[in-house]
Structure 1
Amino acid sequence: MAHRLILRDLTGKKRRVEILYEDEHLLALNKPAPLLTLPDRWDPKRPNLYRLIQGVLGRDSVFVVHRLDAGTSGVIVFAKNPEAHRALCRQFQSHEVRRVYEAIVAGEVNKDRGRIDKPIAPHPKKPGLVMVSAHGKEAITDFEVLERFVGYTYLRLRPRTGRPHQIRAHLQALGHPIATDPDYGGRERLYLSEFKPGFALAEGEEERPFIARPSLHARSLEIRHPATGKRMTLSAEPPKDFLTFLRILREYRAPSQFLSAGDE
């Protein structure tokens, strides 16, 4: 049974976050979406994982090593002392950390695997977003197809650099944006009625989206333990909305179903 950290925000609302690993040096969690990693400078009262953990461990017992976007779920690591913080930050800065993400993207990616090697720079007209630009900083993302569906593809991604929004911008540049990422060319949300033939609601019932955040999950993170130097891999299962998306695609957008229908 998974251990969970029970966090409370300013309203007293409980948030249960899965603990992937914890010792006196580091804390690894399965971050839920759409929880921020760090405080929002425009909305400082918005709940964020860093402040919530400080409320449990104390202000001097948690140090930010890296971040995940609010809409991204998955593995995130915090240091619990200054020495561990320095050691982990050095690993990220030297690109020694191995990260694996999973995403469901729009369209059918033709190549089984490939590399996106395109520089990234801040977007000149959209504050907080980035874009592929010849004048940007080096950014490299490797991808591999896990499953293809009609109109969608399930990918494994390995960023070789760590630019903000790198995967999201790279997938947009590839022509296959994350399926539910409106900032980078995707939809805002998806509904079962768009996939299931004959879908019907009861009278007076309103349909809710089955996913309303970017279909991007940080699946694993390989680091060296900050105290022992031993390599360790931290992994997190995707959350319910991501798994629901996959189940719907496998049930209603499997290529074999459409091939069979076309042969009749």
Structure 2
Amino acid sequence: MDRIEYIVREEEENVRIDKVAAGINEEWSRTQVQDWIKAGLVKVNDKPVKSNYKCLPGDELIIDIPDPEPLDIEAEDLDLDIYYEDQDVLVVNKPRGMVVHPAPGHLSGTLVNGLMAHCKDLSGINGVMRPGIVHRIDKDTSGLLMVAKNDMAHEKLVQQLVDKTVTRKYKAIVHGVIPHDDGTIDAPIGRDTKDRQSMAVVNGGKHAVTHFHVIERFKDFTFVECVLETGRTHQIRVHMKYIGYPLAGDPKYGPKKTLDIDGQALHAGVLGFIHPRTGEYMEFEAPLPEEFERLLELLSKNN
């Protein structure tokens, strides 16, 4: 266990202790510091305090940093498709069929298992089962994800998701022919009252907004681009079903008679965010998987 000592500066007068402490090291998150305070690992003038303690100039902070908890996840060499990586952030193109993080029934072969083998420095904000994971995409959705390699990056990337400044564009094939070129779905999403394993548009659900643009129309299907303004569980799948155009191949929200594809035809193709350290906007684009391209070719021939 490491110990850090710090003297509060004049300009930090009346600032909360958790904020002052988090500012000592840019890789410490405020949430992490609050946990340390609750555990009695942060003292002011040799006395434990609460997170809302207002600092005074000259206060002596003593922070006992706990040793990192070992991650009980098996590292697996999964030959990840890494699009970008530096000391703070990693962008990976997840294939269809891969689960993002371990859970009961999926303890191996997940993206996190692969990340553990690829790099040892992942943020710990989401706990031992989801190191580095800032946001998720479903098992059968392919595409780009950003991963935080330290808590500073994690906190700043999550804040961008909260502030709705992250660019997330998806390509999808949906049932039916959408007559209008563009649209916005603004409908709250929560647990389906009839099926707790599914999500649905429900009264009192969480605010959810999806924008869509028609790229191409086929005989019985439409190829669309969806832009997320919010990031709710199964958002695109639920919203497109809600307006009567469920995703092709979707085993949970779509019809049984559909295209020959294992899971929903959904690809997270564009991801853009502000780098947590440099402040530079970065944007990445992953091409459609071959299976997705073959479906489009088939639909085009049948038009």
Q: Give the TM-score category using the shorter length.
A: 0.7 to 0.9
Shift in Å at residue 55 of structure 1? Answer: 2.3
% identical aligned pairs: 36
**1:178: which partner in 2?**
247
**1:18: which partner in 2?**
81
1:190 aligns with 2:252: no
**Separation of aligned partners in 2, 1:24 and 1:57:** 10
Paired residues of 1:188 and 1:212 also in contact (CA < 8 A): no
Quick one: which amino acid aligns to residue 24 of structure 1?
A: Q
Paired residues of 1:219 and 1:238 also in contact (CA < 8 A): yes
Moved more, 124-133 or 226-235: 124-133
**Separation of aligned partners in 1, 2:187 and 2:296:** 29
Quick one: which amino acid aligns to residue 81 of structure 2?
A: E
1:193-204 alignment, distance < 5 Å? none
**1:212: which partner in 2?**
262
Pick the aligned partner of 1:27 from 90, 95, 106: 90
1:61-93, CA deviations, whole angstroms, 9 ceiling, x for partnerless residues? 651111111111001010111211111111112
Paired residues of 1:179 and 1:187 also in contact (CA < 8 A): no
What is the aligned-residue RMSD (CA, Å)? 2.0
Q: How many residues align?
A: 224
**Separation of aligned partners in 1, 2:75 and 2:121:** 19
Q: What secondary structure, in the 3-state scheme, does the structure 1 residue paired with 2:204 have?
A: coil
Paired residues of 1:189 and 1:213 also in contact (CA < 8 A): no
Quick one: which amino acid aligns to residue 156 of structure 2?
A: A
Q: If the length of structure 1 is used for normalisation, what is the TM-score?
A: 0.79
Quick one: which amino acid aligns to residue 262 of structure 2?
A: A
Quick one: which amino acid aligns to residue 20 of structure 1?
A: Y
1:180-213, CA deviations, whole angstroms, 9 ceiling, x for partnerless residues? 102012347634xxxxxxxxxxxxxxxxxxx211
Paired residues of 2:247 and 2:253 also in contact (CA < 8 A): yes
Pick the aligned partner of 2:237 from 168, 175, 197: 168
- 4+ residue runs over 6 A deviation: 9-12
**1:48: which partner in 2?**
110
**Separation of aligned partners in 2, 1:30 and 1:119:** 29
Q: What secondary structure, in the 3-state scheme, does the structure 1 residue paired with 2:252 have?
A: helix
Shift in Å at residue 242 of structure 1? Answer: 0.8
Quick one: which amino acid aligns to residue 194 of structure 2?
A: K
Quick one: which amino acid aligns to residue 229 of structure 1?
A: G
1:87 aligns with 2:137: no
Mark the runs of 5 or more structure 1 residues left unpaired by the alignment.
Answer: 1-8, 192-210, 255-264
**Separation of aligned partners in 2, 1:26 and 1:220:** 16
CA change 1:46–1:190 in 2 (3 A) is: farther
Give 1 or 2 for the bigger CA radius of gyration: 2
Quick one: which amino acid aligns to residue 77 of structure 1?
A: M
Mark the runs of 5 or more structure 2 residues left unpaired by the alignment.
Answer: 1-72, 124-130
CA change 1:251–1:34 in 2 (3 A) is: same
Moved more, 122-131 or 219-228: 122-131
**Separation of aligned partners in 1, 2:154 and 2:120:** 16
Paired residues of 1:182 and 1:188 also in contact (CA < 8 A): no
